[in-house]
Amino acid sequence: MKARYDAETDTLTLLLRSAPVHDSDEGNAGVILDYDRDGNVVSIEILDASKRVEDPGRIEYLAGAAPR
């Protein structure tokens, strides 16, 4: 998984798979889900990220961490 924050466009993108995007859906305003041909989520895009996410430019890696 990769995360990318673009301060210029205030967009946070979480890349979950390397598959090509086949379809996109904006389920909630400002949150876009991209899907591959099989319906798997490829990426999540959060628009106006600085208003929706606490410190979108900071990434904390928590693999294997105990739930909070």
Are 7 and 49 spatial neighbours (Cβ–Cβ below 8 Å)?
A: no
Tell whether the model's pLDDT for residue 67 goes beyond 90. Answer: no
For the chain, which residues make up each domain, given as ranges?
2-52
What are the φ and ψ backbone dihedral angles of 33, each rounded to 5 degrees? -105, 130
d(CA 2, CA 4): 7
50 backbone dihedrals φ, ψ, rounded to 5°: -65, -20
Output the pLDDT for position 15. 96
Residue-wise pLDDT tens digits, 4-63? 999 999 999 999 999 999 999 997 899 999 999 999 999 999 999 999 988 888 877 777
